[in-house]
A and B are shown apart, each in its own frame.
Chain A
Amino acid sequence: MILMNYIAAFFLIVLGLYTIVTKYNLVKTVIGLSIMDYGVNLLIVSIGFNPGGTAPIFTISELNPSSFFVDPIPQALTLTSIVIGACVTAMSLALVMKIYEQYGTMDTREVRRLRG
């Protein structure tokens, strides 16, 4: 059921945002970012899905008006988005590590030298 996918996608996005807003651990913030990203990825793939469609692998001669396949563009977009999500996670974890070295804490409430 495709509707389930959409509900799950928005649930994941909201869950991610909820994690970022309410959790005070730097690593949990990073996890929240990832969850949000997965939600968007699920949304993208679901948008390209046609129930009953085949894989979008054709040569030009095989294509005819009756061929029915899932939309390939969102899949390409998802791949790009997954790569970017991995980069975000890697970079933010690197920053978290450095912050822990300097501040000696993982609590976002104590990482606030810049304020006001």
Chain B
Amino acid sequence: MMNVLSYQHYPIYAIMLLFLGAFLIVLFGKNRIARHCLALLSVGGSLALLCLLIPRVMLGGEIITYWLGNRSVAGGFAFGIALEVDALSLFFGLLIATAVFVACVYSIKYMEHDDNIPQYYTLFLMLAGGVMGLVLSGDLFNMFIMVEILTFAAVALTAFRNTARGALEAAFKYLVVGSIGSTCILAGTIMLYAQAHTLNFAQLSSLIPGNFNGATRVAFALLFVGFSTKAFLVPFHPLAADAHGAAPASISVLISGVLTKSGIYGIIRLAYFLFQSMDQATIRWMLVIVGSVSMFVCVTMALAQHDFKRLLAFHSISQIGYVLTAVGLSSLLGITAGLYHAMNHTIFKGLLFLAAGAVMHETGTTDLNRLGGLSKRMPHTTVLFLIGAASISGIPPFNGFASKWMIYQATYQAAVDTNNIGYLLVTIVALVTSTLTLASFVKVSQSVFFGQLPEEYKDVKEVPFGMRLGMGMFAVLCILTGLLPNLVTKYLTAPAAHAAQSAARYINSALGGSVAPAETALPEAVGAWNPINWLLLLGIALLALTFVALLGKYDRVSENASGEKLAPKYDVFFSGEKSEYSQVGGGDLFWGFKQNWRHYFSFMHDLHSGIVNDYALWAVVALALAIVFLQIVL
């Protein structure tokens, strides 16, 4: 009998704490203090339990298999329902727990003025528990249940502010297409069950690979499309945009940082474990192409947006495209880069959504055309937003640079290794996307934080400390993970990447075979860079900028011999007539680019018609394509 406090129990406790918290908040949530304490305790406890597993799972390479009800393997056949935690599961679990914790801290002040706050926290914790259960589970049907729980919670939370513009509509569309995705997952699960007569993930992984037939290929397609809906990959990206735009900011953090990760996790488990088909070039290309298309289409969609959160939502999917592309390369460097970017995506996207939420909280709008000049009223939020924007655009020394750099290297290396010019094109698409991302964030900072302050926002104040604390946590993580890429690789991403590549260990650990020791080799990066140098460079540039700015300020007012102040127009460098201030609207910044591409932009605008039937049709077409493609190539 295992001791109830032994580490094998931590994964189930980490899931239970979240669901228990949700349940207790229903009972005691009327009291404000009790509600916040319960929510923080359950998410904090869950995070702490997973952190305690880092030494064993990440560094020791142990795989924790926990059989619910102690019904385990008999005669080589798995009977019970299992939780199986390897480095990959733990990596995603840690990401999720961190994002949920920060979003919870932020929610306390952010949701203060809403009605039905207990229900909000209940759903919040259900969503967190659903995703946590999904990534820690070792049972395919359990994964389906968790997918349903998280979809429900996400739909309900999207419609939470049901008077907000489009909230109900977004929730309904998400529910319809999300349900098609969930049904795909269920149908895929049951078709695998019909072939292998088991639902245990490890056992399926030992039976399915090498025994493909028509049914398993269809199951692959169904599961792939199902998990793609959860990751909002193209063609499911309009749902993400709708849902993020309408949901409260703290929920957008969860939908973009946590829910999409569950889809990516599902795809990794599906391709690397369940079917172990990543050695086939066509499957690799399938992931890389879906990723690259998502990356490019969503960034161009983002350029045309004029709603702050909708724009961020499209960027979110664009970054998920990077993750899938890198993961699809199937090299150690590629998976490490992909997971690194997945982590960074959670952090910087969380930060940006929270900053958007802060703007929304103070001004009541996220329309880029109505905002402006908030840097004077909300200086802290501005700085935090700029950190996030620099991270997502891949500017050193922030974390986006570290992971994108690795992704470029990985795609380039794939081109060199396979002598395939296609991977080189992928590198170029990734670079172009990164540039467009930067352009888009220049536009956002100009429209929201710089430029002229509209009259109606003269009295806007900085957000409460509790919200800045949440953003600050993400900002610190942004800088830390950018400055210490070697530590992150060694302790988090490389073990997870090795876990993704060693399906045999996963299977043997569950079914009682001998488990080989974990690999520990770090991926070989081609171009070395030292983030500390980049930090110094940035520091010097900032100092120089401050110096020049100060110089200008104090020199502006000159005095004549008798101490009278002269008008600045007689100064040596600062002379000239006082100019009329003219606002450069964010929408006008990339006018020429948009003009040249107007046919593409208007085509895309018409395509995203907002009619739920169209989005359902895209889902059906994607499913049909996946089924036909996999029947042919697998």
Residues in B neighbouring A8, C-beta threshold 8 A: none
Q: How many A-B residue pairs have CB under 8 A?
A: 116
B-binding segment of A51-59, A60-68, A92-100: A92-100
Complex alpha-carbon distance, A68 and B339, angstroms: 48
With the chains together, A71 CA to B439 CA distance in Å? 58
Chain B residue nearest in CB terms to A43? B190
Nearest residue, chain B, Cβ from A98: B168
Mark out the residues of chain A between 1 and 40 whose CB falls within 8 Å of any chain B CB in the assembled complex. 13, 17, 20-24, 26, 29, 33, 36-37, 40
Segment 359-380 of B: residues with Cβ below 8 Å from A: none
What residue in chain A is nearest B609 (Cβ atoms)? A115
Task: Return the CB mask of B174-195 against A: 1 if under 8 Å, else 0.
Answer: 0110011011001100100110
Q: Are B183 and A108 in contact (CB under 8 A)?
A: no
A95 and B611 contact, Cβ closer than 8 Å, known pairs A77-B190, A114-B166? no
CB-CB under 8 A from A77, the residues of chain B are: 141, 190, 193
**Given known A-B contacts A21-B616, A29-B612, A73-B199, A114 and B179 have beta carbons under 8 A apart:** no
B426 within 8 A of A: no
A21-B617, A98-B168 known; A115 vs B608 contact (CB < 8 Å)? yes
Asked whether, in the complex, the Cβ of A74 is within 8 Å of the Cβ of B190, the reply is yes
User: Nearest Cβ distance between residue B142 and chain A, in whole angstroms?
Assistant: 10
Q: Which of A62-116 contact B (CB under 8 A)?
A: 71, 73-74, 77, 80-81, 84, 87-88, 91-92, 95-96, 98-99, 102-103, 108-109, 111-116
Interface residues of B in 155-213 (CB under 8 A from A): 155-156, 159, 162, 165-166, 168-172, 175-176, 179-180, 182-183, 186-187, 190, 193-194, 197, 199
Going nearest first, the 9 A-B pairs with the smallest beta carbon separation are A115-B610, A112-B610, A114-B166, A116-B605, A47-B194, A20-B616, A114-B242, A95-B172, A113-B166
Please determine whether B176 and A20 come into contact, CB atoms closer than 8 angstroms.
Answer: yes
Contact of B241 with A by CB under 8 A: yes
Q: Are B611 and A102 in contact (CB under 8 A)?
A: no
Q: How many residues of B contact A (CB 8 A)?
A: 45
Interface residues of B (CB under 8 A from A): 141, 145, 148, 152, 155-156, 159, 162, 165-166, 168-172, 175-176, 179-180, 182-183, 186-187, 190, 193-194, 197, 199, 241-242, 245-246, 304-305, 310, 605, 608-613, 616-617, 620
* CB nearest to B174 among chain A residues: A95
Q: Which residues of A contact B182 (CB under 8 A)?
A: 84
| Contact status A111-B172, CB under 8 Å | yes
CB contacts (< 8 Å) of A115 on chain B: these are: 605, 608-610
B245 touches A21 (CB 8 A): no
Q: Determine if B190 and A22 form an interchain contact, defined as CB atoms under 8 angstroms apart.
A: no
> Contact partner of A114 among B186, B190, B197, B246, CB < 8 A?
B246
Q: Which residue from A13, A26, A116 sits with its C-beta under 8 Å from B187?
A: A13
A residues lining the B interface (CB < 8 Å): 13, 17, 20-24, 26, 29, 33, 36-37, 40, 43-44, 47, 71, 73-74, 77, 80-81, 84, 87-88, 91-92, 95-96, 98-99, 102-103, 108-109, 111-116
B620 touches A102 (CB 8 A): no
Q: How far is the CB of B622 from chain A (nearest CB, A)?
A: 12
Tell me whether A88 and B145 are in contact in the complex, defined as CB-CB below 8 angstroms, given that A37-B183, A114-B245 are known contacts: no
Between-chain CB contacts (< 8 Å), 6 pairs: A20-B176, A26-B172, A47-B190, A99-B169, A108-B613, A112-B169
Residues from chain A with a CB closer than 8 A to the CB of B609 are 112, 115
Residues in chain B near residue A37, CB distance under 8 A: 179, 183
* A57 to B165 CA separation, bound complex (whole angstroms): 54
For B186, give its contact among A20, A71, A81, A108 (CB under 8 Å). Answer: A81
Q: How far is it, in angstroms, between the C-alpha of A37 and the C-alpha of B152 when the chains are bound?
A: 16
Contacts of A23 in B (CB 8 A): 613
B171 near A17 (CB under 8 angstroms)? no
Give chain A nearest CB distance to B218 CB in angstroms: 10
Question: How far, in whole Å, are A109 and B610 apart by their CA atoms in the complex?
Answer: 8
Neighbouring B residues of A71 by C-beta, 8 Å: 197
Residues of B within 8 A of A29 (CB): 176, 612-613, 616
Inter-chain contacts of A44 with B (CB < 8 A): 186, 190
Contacts of A13 in B (CB 8 A): 183, 187
Residues of B within 8 A of A108 (CB): 611-613
CB neighbours of B310 from chain A (8 A): 114
The reply to whether A95 and B175 contact each other, CB–CB distance below 8 Å, is yes
CB-nearest residue of chain B relative to A94?
A: B159
Is B168 a contact partner of A95 (Cβ separation < 8 A)? Answer: yes
The answer on a CB contact under 8 Å between A74 and B183 is no
CB distance from B196 to the nearest CB of A (A): 12
Q: Which residues of the partner chain A approach B605 to less than 8 Å between Cβ atoms?
A: 115-116
